[in-house]
Structures are given as structure tokens and as C-alpha cells.
Chain A
Amino acid sequence: NAGVTQTPKFQVLKTGQSMTLQCAQDMNHEYMSWYRQDPGMGLRLIHYSVGAGITDQGEVPNGYNVSRSTTEDFPLRLLSAAPSQTSVYFCASSHGLAGGREQYFGPGTRLTVT
């Protein structure tokens, strides 16, 4: 199993550009989520999904869109990048109760918006 994979690992965008951060898992996990990590702030939830076709907002959803058309993939779209979106982004997945509630994290994407 590859676990949770994220692409790209690094990205630089100009203000106003759009892009998609990719996240995929091969563990047949129903639950997937996106977090951002900023210095001194811990990780904050952006969006999450409890299954294919179901998504919901987290703590900091503004400026981001998600969709979940398959169990495996959960892309995060930045609609119009802003410097405030400079951060490290983590995707996570879990099997819920069947997996002891453990969330598996991808390696992260470092995004810089200039």
C-alpha cells in the first residue's frame, strides 16, 4: 500500500492563480480530510468527507473547494490564490471505528503564494 499520497510536494503560485492539490489513498478509507498547518497555529481543518459524494466544511473553508467523486481521491481546489493561503497542506484518511479512529496523513504540500 502507498498509503496517503499528495502531489505536488512544493508549489509556488502568484496571487489570483488557481490550482488543485491532489490527495489519494489506497486503503479504502471512507473518511478523508484536508488540514492546513501554519506556524504557531497547529493544524486546522479545511474540508472533510465521510464518504464518496459527501463533503462538509471545517474550521477554515473560505477560498477552498473540494469534491469526492471516488473513495480514493479527495482533491482540494484553490479558486483564486491569496498570500494568506501560504501554508503546508495535509491530507488525511481514516477507516473510522474499524481502524481505531487513527488518521493517516500524507507527506504534505508546501504552498507559497506571492
Chain B
Amino acid sequence: DAKTTQPPSMDCAEGRAANLPCNHSTISGNEYVYWYRQIHSQGPQYIIHGLKNNETNEMASLIITEDRKSSTLILPHATLRDTAVYYCIVRVLYTGNQFYFGTGTSLTVIP
């Protein structure tokens, strides 16, 4: 079962930062936070993952609170192509472990 809570939908103006929150209050010490997004009926696309430190890559930044009970995915300059459903997932980091998806946040970037 999904162990995360996300708002069902959000809007963001094009060019502005999109901040997508996720609550994972029951996260275990060995569970990582993953973010994927899914653009209309395509396969989920990996964005970023982290354990306890903030992470940044070419797509986004991941901010994890010190107690690790919540995190925020930041898209620094949202474009129309960032309109998608964003999934926050927690999982133990070994290949045999599964991804349990919730219903995610539907982000709409507005021109």
C-alpha cells in the first residue's frame, strides 16, 4: 500500500517554481523518497530520489525535512510540458522492492 499523502491537484503559472508537497510520516530509516511523473498515459518517468539530504539534478530539486516525515519536489521554472501527474513514493533501496503508487498530484502548468 502507498505510504504517502499528496494533494490531488495543483496549478502553477508557467515560468514560476512548482512546489509539490508529500507527506510520509511513517517512513522508515532505510526508505528512500522517490519522485516519478506520468504525462498523459505514458510510462512513469523518473525524476529524482533521496534519503535525507536535499538532492538536485537537471530536472528538479528534492527537499526532505530533517525528521524525514515530509518532502517537497521543486520544479524551478515550470513549463507547459511539466503538466503531468507526480507520484511521491517511499521504498527500501534494493532491486527486489516494489514501487507502491498512490494517486499522485495532478499538476497543471498555466500559460
Is this pair of chains taken from one and the same complex? Answer: no
